[in-house]
Structure formats: structure tokens, C-alpha cells
Structure 1
Amino acid sequence: MLLLPPSLLGCLALLTALSTTAPTWPAAIDELEDVMFLNTGYKSRGFSSHITPCSFSEFGAGRQTAAEWLRIGFHDMATANVFFEPYGGLDGSIAFELQPNGENIGPGFVTSLNTYSNHFNSRLSIADMIALGVYASVRGCGGPVVPMRGGRVDVTAKGPIGVPQPQNGQGSFVNQFARMGFSIPDMVQMTACGHAIGGVHAANFPEIVTAGTAPNDYQLFDTTLQFDNKIAVQYVSGPISDPLTVGPSVGNTRNSDFAVFTADRNVTIKAMTDAQVFNNVCSAILGRMIDTVPPTVILSDVITPYEVKPSGIQLTLLAEGNDIRFSGDIRVRTTTRTVSSVTITYTDRNGGNGGTITTTLGGSANGFDDRFAFLSFSSNIPASSSISSFTVAVAETGGLTTTFSNNGGGFPIQDTVIFQSSQSCFSNGNLTVVAAVRSTSTTPVKLIITQKVPRASDIPIPALVNSTVVMTKGATVGLFDLYSASATISSAAGTKFGVSNGAFADDFKDTSGLGATCLSIDAPVPTSTSPTSIATPSSSRSSIIGTSTSSSATPVPTLARKPTVGAYTFQGCYTEGTGARALTGASFYNYPSMTLESCSNGCVGFTYFGVEYGGECYCGNVLDATSTLATLGDCGFTCPGNQYEYCGAGNRLELYKLTSMVASTSSSISSTKFSSTSLSSSISTSSPAQSSSVISSTKSSSTVSGSSSGIAVSPSSSNASSVSRSITTSTSSTIPTTPTSSPTLHIVPSVGLYNYAGCYTEPSSVRALSSAFYPTDSQTVELCVAACSNTPYKFAGLEYSRECWCADSFGPGSTLVSDNDCSMSCAGDKFEYCGGGNRLSVYIRNGTDVKGLSSSSPTSSSLALPTLPSSSSLSPAAYSQIPSTPSSSAPTNPIQTTPAIKPTISLPTSDNTTFTYLSCYTEAPSTRTLNQAAFYNYTSMTLEMCAQNCGGFKYWGTEYGGECYCGNSLSTGSSTVRDEECGFVCPGDGLEFCGAGNRLGVYSRV
């Protein structure tokens, strides 16, 4: 066969990357595209949670999952032979090449493949997952975008040996890379880029790293955990810390990086000391690395996100067969646009004009570089005319409307064979599937099932096993015949199925999305008691549970957050602890059918329960102090046993706390049933590990309690806070049967540290408040303020009943209007106002001077809130100048109970060395802000510990909780930001802040 030179292949790959076109839906890369871009939020796939932050490993200290993902990509590719068959390359063969004492040493290969196996299915190969792991690890650690393609094909047996080993000589390395299709400069580039993150474990390579000489016996290649050019800079200019260049590896002839870098007299590695050159080189060479596949494998174009993509599209034949429900989501890329509305225009079965369907915002999601909005819809269309395709019109706030026609052909949809979700079910291993098929069809109807079947114990990825069952014809409903079939499956986890009729199919369905009971087609739609959740693991999962016989629409359950589960109330999305579980009382796992209710039942007697990674349940009476509140979008996994509930995510807990205790044995209680009027409700924000005095204010008369209800807020750090809605019985000895006052729809005047500031418009071209967004169907003023308090932002705004927006300043063009314009009640409390269409009910965080007013001095444990002037006298511009910290009139010697910035740090030295706090700084764009020394301690870092280690330097700073950096100057390009952005609590002292992601809390020698 004709082989092109590697250099020419690289140029062709780059040209292809530059000439990509918009994909046409549906495409073979659709599943891969979802996993690649939907990192957090609505319908997120959770892939990036395993490498977020870059330093994170769910397997304990001394490991970095991102580095392991980058390493497995190289090891799978490295046995390629471009001159002879078998060609090899990136083909998943490494799953069969993990023999002890072989070329692939260390636990990272098995754990990476186990993670990839969770996403592995008939539309997403292990080889593509390995390539995607390279893209995610580099980008997630701050590196460049590695061009990602799809279409790799998995092999089912091990390939030849040939992964480069540290003990090889320079000539061997040159020959091995030439066999893979790479030149000497390519070899240098790939090695430097591959070693930009990660390090060497003493346990695996004792000849390279001596046990006890590095933290956790893990010696990093350079002094940073991020993907940057330090490996090149430190090799050329020093100090060198790369264990494959210096140290024991030299005497043991295993200094392989030195052998590689000197292969062209250090020419290539010196060029890579330029940060931009390094990024450009790594993007290209790592792209070529993951594109090394056999010539018979045809890869897709470089994958870019769809501007508009259908998601979870489903047809459902309704009772009597007169109508078909058309439902799902339209995913719109909002990275470069602000969407005001999305409409669908569909073509009927015969090519005629079908009609127009409106959508509503279902949720939002984020990738490394992109943002997306999901616009949900559900509409009944006549079965006789039906549907064949549709287009999508996206209207932006600036007035531009763009119609997306899927590259001119419309988004196709077939109605010949329709999977009926409500009539299908799964219970105790028995799967029953029903399909509606056009009566004109004469070809067999089939149920096709794909299961994941475990391989031998030493092979970490399962096999995909297909089975086909011919379906049996049953009743006729209108223009359709119903077909059914049953099968026994070993587990719902990972099982996909679909129905087909000749060339038509409705497939790639999740067994975990089915109910336990098959309903008849004329049965009423079951209602959900918990309209809560964010993400579905499959883009094709239907949100329709049943059908309706009435002429009016029956409520359909939707994915949403569940405010309460029995006696427990939702606290938020929490991280796992640093070096410890957040909840340690008890745990159990149920990956096929976990629900919030089953976890709650399993944690009876405990104060907290939390669900993680979809199928893991944890219980405890204390929340570990290092567990911190994350954004709601991080908890994006749906519960496998209830697709309308959220069950956390990787390293994220859907957390609930026991807040309702029913004293049914008391003789003074007149009734055993509690009505809503007997409950008092409050929201509290406090440190999970500490008690503290609180700042309180009285809630308005919107309470439905017989006793007064209030708001309690502790001014704690966002990272040490928990948000809870506490529901307790009345303190009265007898439960009242009627409320003392009737609730009325009203403006909530204040919530904790926030006061109502007025009704404001959205500007014409930007968001009024754009820093954070928390939509929920359970929205209240209290929930929104609690969400915005976590940073904390100066402003919280509620819009369109269910939207919550946060920011520190207003976008230009927002104006104050009459309170009457904010006339929509809150989605979660019909007695509170939550803005309106294009109108925000705005709340401002109090604390210091507002047009000459200042907060009162605190007395005892409470702080009197300032009285704001009428909203007509305040403007967004005035608000943007309001500091978010309390005034200096606080008591002189308060007892510290929450994290705070320490103004000075003194060392117990002879000269009593003292450092003063400067500010919160960003990292410089191309180098560390403080780059002369560094050390890491993610379990017990404190400010004093960092100061002690950097005692000889002028500056030091803490970052990401457990990282300490030292230097005598601040690098050019670093800039100060507001102190609140350095909000990570120090793992060794819950009363100190230790920077944040890409944020340094910097101190300077006095």
C-alpha cells in the first residue's frame, strides 16, 4: 500500500481540522459529541467530573487522573506500525495488554478503562473514549484544544509489544517512534507534551523515584499540576525536577526524557520554552497521536459542537390513535448568542406544512469552552398527517433570528415504528417493550437489545452482546398496530434497546428509563411526586411516561430538583471531602435502580444522606469540613431508578439533611396528620462542621405557619457553607388546624443579608445579571438568594418565575421600572413574586454605604439590616459600588466561627517575620504568578504552613486549597480580582482561605 510521509500526514490532518463543516444530524459522532461537550448542567454526561479539578483523583492521594488519561492514550497508540500489518494504533487493544510486569505498569490503566466503560456503548467505542480522554485531560488542565475526531474501531485482542520503556537507549526511542510514524522532532514534542502533567510513582519505578523522597511517593515531571510548558522551561533553564532527567534515573540509566530531548541537540525542546509555541505544538502532535489508526478506519471531521441539535426527540402514539405526542429538547449553543426564543416548524408526513411549536427553557449546560441552552417542548400532532422533519428558528435578544435546517434537509424524524415508553417496562430482570407500527407495514418488527457482558477478570472492559427478538402483533389503535416482545436481561446498567421495522428504527433507548409496570395505552398518565432533576445519561431518553385520554394536556413529570424526600430537605450539590468521604456513617450501592427515596430509607437514623455517581448512597451525622458547596449544575446524573430525580455526579453529592421530626407519641398533639399550616420554614446557611451565631431577619407574612417563620444566615464562606430549608413542627403544644393569617402574594422585602431593590429590565443586548444562573421549577426568593450567596454575589435577581441570576454589577442598559412589572409568582411559592417576562425582581446584598447609608452595628448575635431608600432612588450604577463585606463597626474582638481573610501571618522566627495580605491574584497567562518554588498538601494545607515553606521569599500564595507557591516577584500578566474569588477553605484550617482554582491568595513580607 502507498504510505504518506509522517510530516505530510500531519499537514493533511491540520488542513482537515481547519476545513470542518457543520455536522448533519443524526451523525455517527452524536453520542461522542454529547459526552465531549456536556460536562456540567442539564443532561450533562459527567465525563469531566473525573478530572475536575486537574489535580483531582477519586482514587486517593498521589494520583492525578488527568495525567493517567493522557498516558493511556500514548500507551494504546505506541505499538502502531505504519509499515506492516497489523497497523495497530489507537484501537483499544490496551485493555488486553495489562499483564503484570508488562509494558503498561500501574493502576491508572485499569481505573481509566473502568471509567471509560461506563460511557462505552454501541455508538461510542473504547478507542474513541481513550482519544476523548486525551482531549479532556489536556483541556481540563488548562492546555490547548486537541483536535478530536470520532470513528475509531475497537479490537478484541492484544496487539504486539513496543511501548517505549524508560531503560531504552536513545537509538531505540528514535526507531520506536519512526515505527509509529513520527520523526525525531515529533518524538521530542510528544514526550514533552505527554509529560506536561503527571509524574512517576516510586512503587512502580523505584529505580527512578526513591520511596520516601516525594509527597505520596509521586514525583511530578515539573513543579505544576497544570498543563503548561514548565517541563520545557525547567529542562532548559532549571531548576529541573523531572525524575526522568535528574535523580536516581541517571545512575540507573532510566533518564529517558534526557535521552529523548537531546536526540536533536535540544533544538526542539528549547523552541517549546515559548508558551504559545508549546501550546500550538502540543495541540498538533497530540492530535496526530490520537489520529494514529489503521488505514481501514475512516475518522470523522474534527468534532465541533452543533449550533442546534435535537436531544431526546420522541414520538408517542396516544390513546385511540388520533394523536401523536412530539416531545424532546432542542439544544442551542449559547457561547456566542443570547437566546430570547426558539420555535419549531415541522413538515407533515406528506411534505406539507405541519405547524409551529413553541419551546420553554428546560435547562443549561457547559463544556470546557462552550455553553448550551436546552429548549423543551411537548406537542400533540394529528396521527393522520403526522411529521417527517422540522426546522428550528432561534431568535436572539438583539433581534436576529436564524433558521437552522440541518444543512438544508431539515431534521428528519420517522413515524413508521414508534417506541412506546409508557406501555413498556422493566422489573426483576424482565424487559417488555411495546412499539406502535404503521398498519401499512408488512415487514417483521424486531426488538434489538445490546447488553454489556463482563469479560475475563483481567480485562476491564465489557463486551457488547446483541440479541434480537421478533415482536408479536397485538391490538390495532387508529392507523397503527401495537407489537410487543419480552426478554430477560442481566442488568439495566448500560443496556440499550430499540425497535425496528425494515429500514426504520426507534432505537438507542435506556432500560433504566423504564417504569416497573407496563401501562395500557388508554391508562391515565401517572403524575410525579417529585418533579426534580437535571441530566439524562442518554440523549435519546424519552421524557414521556404515559398517554392521556382527555382532550386537555395532562401534566407530564419532568426532571427537577426534589426539595424534600420524606423528612429530609435538599441542601445543595456538595463535593466529596478532601482526603476523606463527606459522609462516613454508612454506604451502599445500587447502580441499576438507585433513587433518592431508596437512599433515604437506607440512611434512616442519620442526619444526612447523599447520592453520588447515580448509584452510590452515603449516610452520616456530620458533613466533613472539607466538603464544599458546588454549583447545582455539577450534580447532573439522573437516578437510574427514577429518571426524574438527580443523583449527584462524579465526586458530587446530591445532599439532604434531616429537618422534619414528627412527635406522634405526644399526648398533647391533637392530630396525627400534619397540614402545611402546622409547619414553619426557614433557610439557613452555616458551616457544616461548626456552629455559629447567626444574622437574622423576620420573613414577611408569606409564611403559611401558625408560628412566625424567619430567615437565618451565617456569613460564612461559600466553600464552607451549606444551604438548607428546615421544616420543623410548631412549638405550640397543640398543632393548629388553621393558619393565624392567610398568606397573600407579595414582594419579599428581605432574605438574610439581601434586601429587595426593585424591578429591573433586561438590557437589549446583554444580561442584566450574567455571572451565574440557577433555574429550577422549585424556585423561590429564598432559594435564589441562597444560591447567589455562595460566592457571594452582590445582586440576586429572579425572572420569569423559575430563573435566578447573580452578579456583582449590572449589564449596561438595565433600568428601574414599576414593581407592577414584576408580576409573576415564583414557581416554588405561589405567594412570592419572582420577576416577569424580561423583568427581574432584584435583591441587593447589604453591608456598607448605600447612597450615604451604612449598616448598623451588630448587637449580640444579630445584625440589624439597613433600611434601603425607595427603589426609585437607586440605580444599578449605584449598586455596583456597594462592597460586599460588613462595615467596620463590628465588635472589636468577635469569636471567629467562619472562614475569613487573615490580614497578617507571622512566623515564630528570631526576627518575627511577618507577611501581610495583598490581594487575590489570577495566575499569569503563560507562567506561574509565583514561580520560584512550590509544594502541595491537599489534606492539611494552612496559611502558616505555606508561609513557613516560603519563609525565605518575598511573596507566597495559596491556590486551590492545597497548593503553595513562592517567589520574589509577581509575574507579568497576573492581575488582582475581588477577594471573594479566593474562596477555597484551607483543608488544614477551616477558618482560613487558601485561594481557589486559578486564584492565589497572595501575602508579602513586611
Structure 2
Amino acid sequence: MSVDPHVVLSAFICQILRNWVAKMLALGTLLVSLGTASAYIWPSPQLDALEALRWDQDGHRNQPFSIFIEPCSRDLFAPRGTPSGRADSADWIRTAYHDMATYNVADGTGGMDASIRFTEEQARAENAGDGFAHTLSVLDGGVSRYVSIADALAIGTVMAIENCGGPEIAFRGGRIDAGEPNTPGVPEPQQDLQQHIDSFARQGFTQTEMIGLVACGHTFGGVQHAPFPDIVPELNDPNNTLSVTHFDSTFAQFDNNVATEYISGTTKNPLVVGTNDTTNSDKRIFSSDGNATMLSFANSPQLFASTCADLFARMLDTVPRGVQLTEVITPLPVKPYSVQLVSVGEKLQLSGEVRFWNMATANRTVTLLYTDRLGASHILPTPLTASGTSSAIGGEVHSRVVRVQHHRVHGPHLWAEVDELRRGREGGGSGRGGSPIAGRFDVAVRTDANITRLFLQQDAHDSVNRPIIVETEIPRPAAPVAANTVYEIWSVDVGGGASVAYTLRAEIANGSENATASGQQSLLDLGNVLCAT
């Protein structure tokens, strides 16, 4: 068997990769608490994915959501250029609330678990309209083994609010997708006030919080004629082709107009001034405390925004009993991306990107420090090349991404320092990698690694569309093929398209597990190192 020389790397690469990943860019700045069970220590595959989806919203390495709410009045499903009167931002927020509203505080069932994706739930009268299917078809693009459908719904809601003028919403990850529909329980407009109070109490909200959550949600969107013909008539308006009567005059923007217009008596909210008083549920809810809460919102945009930030976060954090969410995910000040070590002839090429989050000083230098096999220390100034910029929260915060590249790295211990950020600390994260390929994987395995299991992982979905992992075993060769005195080659044939991404994982005799980190490249093109010691 011929062996691609890019696959065979010297034994010390594992230590270089492990230490570089652990200490890259003064890891003291990377250690933030992002889990109720353990702190976020980069790299952490789940938290890295959630943090990227949450914060890398626009520009370089942007994630797949924000473009669908640019502008905030965009309706992706309307014919191009047609002002439908609907907005994706409103649909995303409504979908999240309807998913959560099945929660029962007494038995802990329901909540944010993506059960709204089931046809049975969407067919209920309480979930009228096609906004749920539209939302899921878009936000499913962010789902992976690390990001559940429910997490994607939550992140989409956060982005819709923040990028359309709203306050920053605390986001936690770790939601678990339901395997079946939940019990009905979403409030409906024809219900009386006591039914609404009881429904929100079952969800975990007081009467005052009910008023707030309805007002916060109804700063976006409106009521469409097609699913609610008894509430909204045909408007015959070329600038509102789907006949949507809006809750306030700025239906795609977060502001307190839903309150100011209600208090001033100028509102056109169809659930306040509709011709059928039976379905004027907002009027009953808003006035249930003598309009005190709505008056306070009308008088203070700041109070309205802070109240909504709290209530939206609580809504998104309402999950089935037993589900443990992470701590609030905040952007890492300094975060590496696509860390790679590649064997090129007799040299090792280390490369990657580094994101500097919202830092005033754009000019940074990176210095790599490593020790060789004999224990001698080396200092290498590392050139940086700008890769791009990105932003979040409607462009209010920005990050700068630079590329780090250096050749001829020779030692087993390596870390890095960034000027102005010189605290270092041992890391304990787990690596991640994947390689799109069809054909045969040849994996170089250390002969003394005591591997008990070597396997590939591939993202897939189960019968109810939850993200799962499919594993492919890489068998121990009956007659090992020696790559050199240190490595032998294990091989497996795989099918599927060239875009299929795999992660290489191993189990070691002591029960620990490591993953290679090779970026999104071919295993045979760039090589993968099994860090088994």
C-alpha cells in the first residue's frame, strides 16, 4: 500500500497541537464560564459551535441566519420585491413562543424543545399559519450535532430581536429536541382573560409578566387574513399583499410603539380594536391591571427594553424538566479558528485564524513560543494577515479576524502570546475536526498508542429529524502497514458525496477519548494526526 506523505507526521505533532490548542493566544482571556457543569475552555465543540452561531452574525465567517433578516422587514417566502406585510423576524419570534407555550410548570413537560416542528402541532388551531414551517426551513440550516433544532430556534429569536433594534438577550445553549408532539396549550385570541392568566401561569409567568411578554412579542408582526379571516379582512393593498394588520406602526422594528399607540388610543392592533370583541385578546390582557404596565412601557422605552430582555430570555430558557442549559454564552475575546498542522516535506506548517472580539486596538502581534525535543526554548514572531471583519447586534459590535501562519515548527510544546494579553493557563478542551471526502481514509496511528477503538463520525438525522451522529468503525489491520518506525496505517472505505464531513475519533485503553483537528479539508490532502498519547 502506498502512503500519502502528508498523512504521516512525526510523533511530536500531537503534543504541539494539544499545547497550541490549549494555550493559543493567551488562553487566560479565553476561559469564561459557559456551563453549569464546567467552564468553557476552548476548544469545546458544542460551545464553540453555539458561540459562533450566536455571535458571528455578519461578515467574515458569518453564520447562516442574519442574512434572512436583512432588512428586518424581509419576507423570504414572498415573491422578490413584493411587500407582503409579513417579516421573517416576526415569524421567528412567534415560532419560539408557540414552541415554549406548551410548558407545564407542574410536571415539567413541554417548553423549548422544537416540538413545533411536528406536523401534528402545526395542524392545531392554536398554531394557525405557515410561519412555523417557514421558520424551521430557514433555521434548520444552523443545526448540527452540537446545535439542536431548539437551540437554533432560540438563537434565531435572539438575532431577530437584537438586529432589529431590540436589547441584547442572554442566550444559553443545550436544549434537547423532543421526540414527539407536546400537549396543546398555546393561548388563543378568543379565550377569556382568566383562561389567558391560567395559561401563562402554567407556563411560569405572572399576570404582570403575561402583559409584558405579549407586548414584547407584539412589537413585531401582526395578524394575517388567510389564517385568521374572522379577525383581519382582505386589505387589497399592493404594499401589503398578504393582508397583514400590524400590531403597531413599526412592525419589523423593536420599539415601545405597541405601548405608546395603545395608551394614546391610536393603535391599529387587530387584537385591541378588532371588529369582533371576542378576539380582542390583547385589549383584555393589556387592560387587566388598569393599563398600569402598558403605561409604564409607554413612558419609558428603557423600561420596555429591559423588561423584554428579561422576559425573552426566560421564555427561551423554559425547557423540559431535566434539561441542563449552559451558562450565558458571551463572545470569547480572542478565539482561534481552523487550527491546522500540516506536514509539507520535512517541515510542519501551522496555520489558522484568530478572531479579536470588539477590541479597540486593531494592531496585534502574535509570538509563538515552543520547546523542542531536547528542551530548548524558541521564540518565533508570527506574521499576521488580515482575513476580514465581522459584526453582530445590528453592527453595534465588531470583530477582526487575522490569519496566523508559520513554517518549520519542530518541538513538542508550543503556546502563543498576544501583545497586551500575556496571561497563560493550561487548557483542558477537546479537539474537533472534519474532512469531506469520498473514498478511503488512511489514518496514521502511533504503534505505541494502545488504541482500543478508532472510528469516524458523521452528522445525520433520525426518523423525527433530530441531529444524530453515525459512526463508522476503522478496523485494526490484520497485517499492519508501517508508515515508518513510529506509525502504522489503519484504513476504511467510505461512501457518500465529496461534501460529507467526518470527524476522526479514538478511544484509548485508559478510557479517554481524543479527536483530531484538521479543519474542513480532505484527510488525504492534509493528513490527520491521531493524538493518542
Q: Distance in 1 between matches of 2:39 and 2:246?
A: 40
1:25 is the counterpart of 2:31: no
Determine the structure 1 residue equivalent to 2:421: 402
SS in 2 for 1:272: helix
Higher helix share: 2
Q: Distance in 1 between matches of 2:190 and 2:308?
A: 25
Q: Distance in 2 between matches of 1:195 and 1:318?
A: 58
Determine the structure 2 residue equivalent to 1:330: 354
Determine the structure 1 residue equivalent to 2:341: 315
Q: What one-letter code is carried by the residue in structure 2 that aligns with 1:288?
A: R
SS in 2 for 1:29: helix
Determine the structure 2 residue equivalent to 1:197: 220
Determine the structure 1 residue equivalent to 2:72: 54
Deviation at 1:228, TM superposition (A): 0.6
For each residue in 1:233-263, what CA deviation from the matched residue of structure 2 results, as whole angstroms up to 9, or x when unmatched? 111113111111112342xx11111121122
Determine the structure 2 residue equivalent to 1:663: none
With 464-473 and 111-120 compared, the bigger mean Cα shift is at 464-473
Q: What one-letter code is carried by the residue in structure 2 that aligns with 1:403?
A: R
Q: Distance in 2 between matches of 1:462 and 1:62?
A: 32
1:43 is the counterpart of 2:43: no
Q: Provide closer, same or farther for how the CA distance between residues 180 and 342 of structure 1 changes in structure 2, counting only shifts above 3 A.
A: same
Aligned 1:423-438 pairs, distance under 5 A:
426=437, 430-438=438-446
1:498 to 498, 501, 504: 504
- Report how many residues are paired: 474
Q: Distance in 2 between matches of 1:35 and 1:509?
A: 20
Q: Provide closer, same or farther for how the CA distance between residues 353 and 500 of structure 1 changes in structure 2, counting only shifts above 3 A.
A: farther
Deviation at 1:116, TM superposition (A): 1.8
Determine the structure 2 residue equivalent to 1:364: 389
Determine the structure 1 residue equivalent to 2:15: none
Determine the structure 1 residue equivalent to 2:260: 233
Determine the structure 1 residue equivalent to 2:288: 263
Deviation at 1:347, TM superposition (A): 6.1
Contact 1:496 1:510 in 2 (8 A): no
Determine the structure 1 residue equivalent to 2:368: 344
Q: Provide closer, same or farther for how the CA distance between residues 404 and 72 of structure 1 changes in structure 2, counting only shifts above 3 A.
A: farther
Contact 1:144 1:279 in 2 (8 A): yes
Q: Distance in 2 between matches of 1:477 and 1:412?
A: 30
Q: Distance in 2 between matches of 1:339 and 1:22?
A: 29
Higher strand share: 1
1:84 is the counterpart of 2:110: no
Q: Provide closer, same or farther for how the CA distance between residues 264 and 419 of structure 1 changes in structure 2, counting only shifts above 3 A.
A: closer
Q: Provide closer, same or farther for how the CA distance between residues 144 and 296 of structure 1 changes in structure 2, counting only shifts above 3 A.
A: same
- Unmatched 5+ residue regions in structure 2? 1-32, 79-83
% identical equivalent positions:
30
TM-score (norm 1): 0.44
Q: Distance in 2 between matches of 1:411 and 1:131?
A: 28
For each residue in 1:801-820, what CA deviation from the matched residue of structure 2 results, as whole angstroms up to 9, or x when unmatched? xxxxxxxxxxxxxxxxxxxx
SS in 1 for 2:271: coil
Contact 2:434 2:501 in 1 (8 A): no
Q: Distance in 2 between matches of 1:454 and 1:420?
A: 21
TM-score (norm 2): 0.81
Contact 1:453 1:463 in 2 (8 A): yes
Q: Distance in 1 between matches of 2:363 and 2:132?
A: 42
Q: What one-letter code is carried by the residue in structure 2 that aligns with 1:203?
A: A
Deviation at 1:204, TM superposition (A): 0.8
1:468 is the counterpart of 2:476: no
Q: Distance in 2 between matches of 1:382 and 1:157?
A: 52
Q: What one-letter code is carried by the residue in structure 1 that aligns with 2:416?
A: T
Q: Provide closer, same or farther for how the CA distance between residues 343 and 412 of structure 1 changes in structure 2, counting only shifts above 3 A.
A: farther
SS in 2 for 1:450: strand
1:185 is the counterpart of 2:208: yes
2:329 to 300, 303, 322: 303
1:244 to 271, 296, 307: 271
Determine the structure 2 residue equivalent to 1:294: 320
Question: Root-mean-square deviation (CA), in Å?
Answer: 3.1
1:222 is the counterpart of 2:231: no
Deviation at 1:63, TM superposition (A): 2.2
Q: Distance in 1 between matches of 2:376 and 2:197?
A: 64
Q: Distance in 1 between matches of 2:106 and 2:376?
A: 56
SS in 1 for 2:352: strand
Q: Distance in 1 between matches of 2:302 and 2:143?
A: 35
Contact 2:367 2:382 in 1 (8 A): yes
Largest Rg, 1 or 2: 1
Deviation at 1:200, TM superposition (A): 0.9
Q: Distance in 2 between matches of 1:219 and 1:185?
A: 26
Q: Distance in 2 between matches of 1:77 and 1:351?
A: 57
Determine the structure 2 residue equivalent to 1:678: none
Q: Distance in 2 between matches of 1:32 and 1:403?
A: 27
Q: Provide closer, same or farther for how the CA distance between residues 359 and 500 of structure 1 changes in structure 2, counting only shifts above 3 A.
A: farther
Determine the structure 1 residue equivalent to 2:20: none
For each residue in 1:724-768, what CA deviation from the matched residue of structure 2 results, as whole angstroms up to 9, or x when unmatched? xxxxxxxxxxxxxxxxxxxxxxxxxxxxxxxxxxxxxxxxxxxxx
- Unmatched 5+ residue regions in structure 1? 1-15, 396-400, 520-543, 548-1006
Determine the structure 2 residue equivalent to 1:94: 116
Q: Distance in 2 between matches of 1:297 and 1:348?
A: 46
Aligned 1:88-127 pairs, distance under 5 A:
88-96=110-118, 97-127=120-150
For each residue in 1:32-64, what CA deviation from the matched residue of structure 2 results, as whole angstroms up to 9, or x when unmatched? 111111122222213211111111121113320
Deviation at 1:348, TM superposition (A): 6.5
